[in-house]
Amino acid sequence: MPSVLVPLAEGFEEIEAFAPVDLLRRAGIAVTTAALGDTLAVTGRSGLTVQADTTLATVLGRDFDLLFLPGGAGVKHLRADPRLRELVLRYHGAGRWLAAICAAPAVLHDAGLLTGRRYTAHFSVAGELPAILAHEKVVTDGRITTSRGAGTAVDFGLHLVALLSSPEKATEISKAICF
């Protein structure tokens, strides 16, 4: 069964994190949410406090098939945490999947992974990421998948299901949720 790691930082965008998490779990994919801090409680951008499955420190040594970075104001915490840069580089070096939505592609940019690639991201980071494909909802280039923001979270989640499971499974889930 494929596995996904989702680091959650204070201020994460709830829709961008949990629409894809829900769709991946519907597909039978093992998703682990990991709080960046020392406690499992993480509060998102809209004030929803969720309980992560574990902390990032607990799962740093484990390997997952995909590292998924949600966006929102919490991206500043992802960018400031050296563990995230190390994880991104480790996953990239091992040929594992990386996925980022909204402002989170900036984390991939910080690690030097977007140069020469096709990608999209939220317009708020366009100054740092001038090659954003602004009209694309989801872009995959090699083993890196990016998406624009909350409004594209379901498309993004279904795309990840297709990558990790199958296009047929993504279509099945799409029909089940009336998308």
Catalytically annotated residues: 102
Which tokens in the block code for residue 46?
Answer: 């809209």
Q: 98 in helix, strand or coil?
A: strand
Is residue 155 a contact partner of residue 146, using CB atoms and an 8 Å limit? no
How many other C-beta atoms lie within 10 A of the C-beta of residue 9?
Answer: 26
Query: Rounded distance, CA 3 to CA 32, Å?
Result: 8
CA atoms of 44 and 29, how far apart (whole Å) = 23
